[in-house]
Amino acid sequence: AAGFVIYALDIHFSVERFENDEIEMIQFAFDDEIPAIDAVHDNYILKREASLEDGETGIKKEVPNSVDFPGYIQVVDGANSSYSENLSYFTATLNIGGEYYVFQMIGKGENMGYLYDDFIEILSSVKL
């Protein structure tokens, strides 16, 4: 995993690669058989939802055609507690050459609406 912070914008960006043994454990946790990419993405979203006191989760969608790899993208909004500010979590899971990566960009909810296209551009810039 790797993470980056842009303090001036209060944005955190991370990317995490999942190993096959991790993916198998994640898949095993689901009741039904589930493809690896769905297991990784859904598990990541479920953990994010559990970390928020009052969250809202957007619809899971396939990444746009501008992204060279198959995957899903989803947004979760919420706060860690009633005293913390609302954050938006842009989350995408990509299958890159048979390996699974989760990309996440996190920031203040009020600012993130302007940055969704930038997140897509970051995903579109990923090369094998």
Predicted confidence at residue 71, as pLDDT, reads: 98
Q: What is the pTM of this model?
A: 0.93
Q: Where are the beta strands (DSSP E) in 7-86?
A: 11-18, 56-57, 61-62, 71-78
> What's the pLDDT score for residue 113?
86
Beta bridge partners of 2: 15
Does residue 20 surpass a pLDDT of 90? no
Beta-bridge mates of residue 87: 78, 108
In angstroms, the first-to-last Cα distance of the chain is 17
Q: Each residue of 37-62: pLDDT tens digit?
A: 999 999 999 999 999 988 899 999 99
Q: How far apart are CA 72 and CA 102, in angstroms?
A: 10
pLDDT tens for each residue of 56-106: 999 999 999 999 999 999 999 999 887 888 999 999 999 999 999 999 999
Identify which of 7, 8, 11, 10 has the alpha carbon closest to the alpha carbon of residue 122: 11
Residue 42 has what pLDDT? Answer: 96
Amino acid of residue 32 = D
Q: Using 50, 70 and 90 to split pLDDT, how confident is the model at 34?
A: very high
